[in-house]
Amino acid sequence: MWFKNLLIYRLTQDLPFDAEALETALATKPARPCASQELTTYGFVAPFGKGEDAPLVHVSGDFLLVAARKEERILPGSVVRDALKEKVEEIEAEQMRKVYKKERDQLKDEIIQAFLPRAFIRRSSTFAAIAPKQGLILVNSASPKRAEDLLSTLREVLGTLPVRPLTVKTAPSAIMTDWVKTQVTAEHFFVLDECELRDTHEDGGIVRCKRQDLTGEEIQLHLSTGKVVTQLSLAWQDKLSFVLDDKMVVKRLKFEDLLQDQAEQDGGEEALGQLDASFTLMMLTFGEFLPQLFEALGGEEMPQGI
């Protein structure tokens, strides 16, 4: 149950996240399969376990975990284009006339409707942890679109969800560039061996470095010519490593073996116990890690009026 990515949202008002009321709200929009003519469906699923009795809200101490599932029919554009081309050629040959845009669009819609029942089904789940006391919602995704799908659906069933992406006072790229340039980081943070450098000029170049000594002359030369660090791999204490980008997205989170071993020990024999212990320990770790990350980036920015 360890998150691999992190998009961080700040609750702008206190909301009483009652687990029972939240469960009832989520149950009004459960995940379901696509009907034969539907392109996509979206709804909530049990974060842990399957079956009708599995709760849609997992509660662990002060933390809540929810999950949503998207189901979509995959219809490759090339398949539709080939079928449309074949149909147009057939009409033009048989009826000796030109097929224009309006008719083409209508034919395309008919082809899509005919192909949909045979299209492949793809399912994807997105998890979100709610920490009411910290005023945070943490989404396990690097895609703002996927996070917004979940948050907007949560807002739909709750009636309200006043959240915004968390922002910091100093641009992450400025802080990360300074860390690499000076080789001095904030306390408890350590630069690892991967970064992305970007030229700030329009259409500027991008340099991606992996398994590279970021203190070396080559990197310093890029920085001296005006490039800035837009992604940087970092470690925090001896507990986790991650890649931070200039949009405050935390990617490729990896919890060190020490934490995973502790969760395994705390979780006992059953699978649900293991999942619960992992989730709890992860959230407690985030409770310590995130404030230090915000502080390292100049502190959290609080827009006026909030």
Q: Are residues 274 and 223 in the same domain?
A: yes
Q: Are residues 138 and 246 in the same domain?
A: no
In a domain, 301, yes or no: no
Q: Are residues 109 and 229 in the same domain?
A: no
Helix (H, G, I), strand (E, B) or coil at 40: strand
Q: What is the dihedral of CA 189, 298, 245, 8, to 10 degrees?
A: 100
Per-residue pLDDT, 202: 67
3-state class percentages of the chain: helix first, strand second, coil last, to nearest 5: 40, 25, 35
pLDDT band at 14 (very low <50, low <70, confident <90, very high): confident
Q: Which residues contact 278 (CB under 8 A, 6 or more apart)?
A: 1, 2, 260, 263, 267
Q: Are residues 279 and 196 in the same domain?
A: yes
Q: Are residues 158 and 188 in the same domain?
A: no
Tell me which residue has tokens 């045979």.
Answer: 118
In a domain, 144, yes or no: yes
Please report the sign of the dihedral spanned by the C-alpha atoms of residue 279, residue 284, residue 285, residue 291.
positive
Q: Are residues 136 and 111 in the same domain?
A: no
Instruction: Give the pLDDT confidence of 209-230 residue by residue, as tens digits.
Output: 898 888 888 888 888 888 999 9
As given in the structure block, the two tokens for residue 217 are 């002359």
The total of structural domains in the chain comes to: 3
pLDDT band at 139 (very low <50, low <70, confident <90, very high): very high
In a domain, 302, yes or no: no
Q: Are residues 157 and 201 in the same domain?
A: no
Helix (H, G, I), strand (E, B) or coil at 220: helix
Q: Are residues 254 and 195 in the same domain?
A: yes
In a domain, 303, yes or no: no
In a domain, 1, yes or no: no
Per-residue pLDDT, 234: 96
In a domain, 197, yes or no: yes
In a domain, 185, yes or no: yes
Structural domain of residue 86, as residue ranges?
77-117
For the entire predicted model, the pTM comes to 0.85
The Cα–Cα gap between 137 and 142 comes to 14
pLDDT band at 306 (very low <50, low <70, confident <90, very high): very low
In a domain, 304, yes or no: no
Query: Which of 254, 280, 284 has the alpha carbon at shortest distance from 6?
Result: 254
Per-residue pLDDT, 186: 93
Instruction: Give the pLDDT confidence of 47-99 residue by residue, as tens digits.
Output: 987 767 789 999 998 999 999 999 998 888 888 898 889 988 888 888 888 98
pLDDT band at 119 (very low <50, low <70, confident <90, very high): confident
Q: Which residues contact 228 (CB under 8 A, 6 or more apart)?
A: 173, 174, 176, 177, 197, 198, 200, 246
Q: Are residues 127 and 185 in the same domain?
A: no
Q: Are residues 188 and 132 in the same domain?
A: no
Say if CB 130 and CB 63 are below 8 A apart. yes
Q: Are residues 235 and 256 in the same domain?
A: yes
Q: Are residues 229 and 263 in the same domain?
A: yes
